[in-house]
Amino acid sequence: MIIKPRTRGFICLTSHPEGTLQNIKNQIDYVKSKGKIKNGPKKVLVIGASTGFGIASRITAAFGSDAATIGVFFEKPAAEGKPGTAGWYNSAAFEKEAHASGLYAKSINGDAFSDEIKKQTIDLIKKDLGQIDLVVYSLASPRRTHPKTGVNYASVLKPIGQPFTNKTVDFHTGVVSDITINPVDNDEDIQNTIAVMGGEDWKFWMEDLKEAGVLAEGVKTVAYSYIGPELTYPIYRNGTIGKAKDDLEATVTTINKLLKDLNGISYVSVNKALVTQSSSAIPVVPLYISLLYKVMKQKGIHEGCIEQMQRLFAESLYSGEKISLDEKGRIRIDDLEMREDVQKEVAALWEQATTQVKKYWQIQLLHHKEDIAFKSISKSKWEDQKLAGDTLKSVQRT
């Protein structure tokens, strides 16, 4: 199955849920409040640009560094009375704000894994920007059609070796219960997951961009990874998805060789756990995230995607100083999440976690506009939920 690329322009802006526009505006205001990023990127391609870390990277480049941006994503516009996906509205809102500020911003909606979308993107760069100086790779997908073989790969989220039993939260009801996830019983599931979420597609993008001559001298590229605490190791870092992240991280060496004659460089940034469409799909992890948010907020060190990306650009990628890397060569902006005092308190809460968490979790859903609860939400529903959220918040305070 080949997914048909869709490149229709954005439709009627007035039909967008107000909440999405406000969320994008808030992110823009945050980036502006931090001041201009000196020597920041000027012409940027973001692959996976519509939600989570991708849209936050795009906003940071545009409003922190006046960058022209091209965003590639896979989203559905509204059709026949059905609302579009959250990422569609995010991107429409972003483009509206970017254009109002006189910034170049165009988007390509289609399958980023395909050769066709890579070609369309390259043509657009050639036509409008000439060359780009930053490529952000922020794709997260459960499946991939391989562009050379046509094989469909589906990723799995499973432990390797032994079954894993731990607590999980039902995202819709907020109920906490035990879950046992059986390990993969064949190497194929591991290989499939690597094929979807590993580094091959990032490498393909960089190869194609280089061959087309659209990468500027000194180009940078960054992809995102995750490590997390030991309690999620069996399902995340030591599980099938962790193998894919190992592969992504190893791709840095390959891409660095490719970019050497351009004086280009590639990085993996290990980001903090955040509620996004992709992280919500992993068992156990959402409960960990809700406890993590609670602890980090109490300590005044909570960050969302935008705070993370602004910090990555301003203090790491474009700080003008030598970028500090961990022993495996990775940028670490999960430093606050992994702080010993934070992890100790999360572990203690984990022991106590019962459906008591329910209320807290619901508040998270209502207050984190990036998350899937806000997918396709209508304005009136948004207001209802916001009201409910305020009520819950006051309950929690007492």
Q: Which of 23, 9, 85 is nearest to 56 (CA)?
A: 23
From 92, 105, 139, 365, residue interacting with ligand NAD (rule: CB under 6 A): 139
Tell me which of ligand NAD, Na ion, none is bound by residue 87, counting a contact when its beta carbon lies within the kind-specific cut-off of 5 to 8 angstroms: ligand NAD
Q: Among all chains, which residue has been given the structure tokens 């879950």?
A: 179
Specify the 3-state DSSP secondary structure of 270.
Answer: strand
Token pair for residue 357? 């968490």
Under the binding rule (CB under 6 A), the answer on residue 198 touching ligand NAD is: no
Residue 73 partner contact from ligand NAD, Na ion, none using kind-dependent CB cut-offs of 5 to 8 Å: ligand NAD
**Exactly one of 52, 174, 229, 283 binds Na ion (CB under 5 A); which one?**
52
Q: Which is nearer to Na ion, 37 or 140 (CB)?
A: 140
The CA radius of gyration of the chain, in Å to the nearest whole number, is 20
CB of 391 to ligand NAD, least distance (A): 28
CB of 73 to ligand NAD, least distance (A): 4
Catalytic residues: 236
Rule CB under 6 A: choose which of 134, 274, 331, 346 binds ligand NAD: 274
**Which long-range CB contacts under 8 A does 77-80 form with residues at least 24 apart?**
77/6, 77/8, 77/10, 77/11, 77/109, 78/11, 78/15
Among 95, 111, 189, 345, binds ligand NAD (CB under 6 A): 111
* CA atoms of 145 and 20, how far apart (whole Å): 30
Q: Is the Cβ of residue 86 or residue 342 nearer to Na ion in the bound state?
A: 86
Query: In terms of DSSP H, where are the helices of the chain?
Result: 18-33, 52-65, 86-100, 115-124, 187-197, 200-211, 240-259, 285-298, 305-312, 340-352, 357-367, 379-397
By CB under 6 A, what part of segment 205-264 binds ligand NAD? 224-226
Whole-number Å distance between alpha carbons of 71 and 81: 26
Return the residues of window 31-50 that contact Na ion according to CB under 5 A.
Answer: 48
293 binds ligand NAD (CB under 6 A): no
Q: Does 196 bind ligand NAD (CB under 6 A)?
A: no
- Applying the rule CB under 5 A, the residues between 87 and 146 that interact with Na ion are 138
The answer to whether residue 304 forms part of the interface with Na ion (CB under 5 A) is no
316-344 in b/e form (b: 16+ CB < 10 A) is: bbbeeeeeeeeeeebbbbbebbeeeebbe
Number of residues that bind Na ion (CB under 5 A): 5
Query: Should residue 283 be labelled a site residue for Na ion when binding is judged by CB under 5 A?
Result: no
The yes or no reply on residue 51 touching ligand NAD (CB under 6 A) is: yes
DSSP β-ladder status, 265-270 and 215-225: parallel
Interface region with ligand NAD, contact rule CB under 6 A, candidates 18-26, 42-50, 373-381, 388-396? 42-50
Of ligand NAD, Na ion, none, which one does residue 251 interact with (CB within 5 to 8 Å by kind)?
none
Residues making up the chain, counted from first to last:
398
Q: Candidates 137-145, 310-318, 335-343, 354-362 — which segment interacts with ligand NAD by CB under 6 A?
A: 137-145
Residues 328-347 that bind ligand NAD (CB under 6 A): none
Alpha carbons 41 and 69: distance in angstroms, whole number: 10
The dihedrals phi and psi of 269, each to the nearest 5 degrees, come to -110, 125
For residues 139-150, one letter each, b for 16 or more C-beta atoms within 10 angstroms of the residue's C-beta and e for the rest, the string is bbbeebbbbeee
| Residue 69 or 168 having the CB closest to Na ion | 69
Which of 30, 53, 88, 202 forms a contact with Na ion (CB under 5 A)?
53
* Interface residue list for ligand NAD (CB under 6 A): 48-54, 72-75, 87, 111-113, 138-141, 224-226, 271, 273-274, 276-279
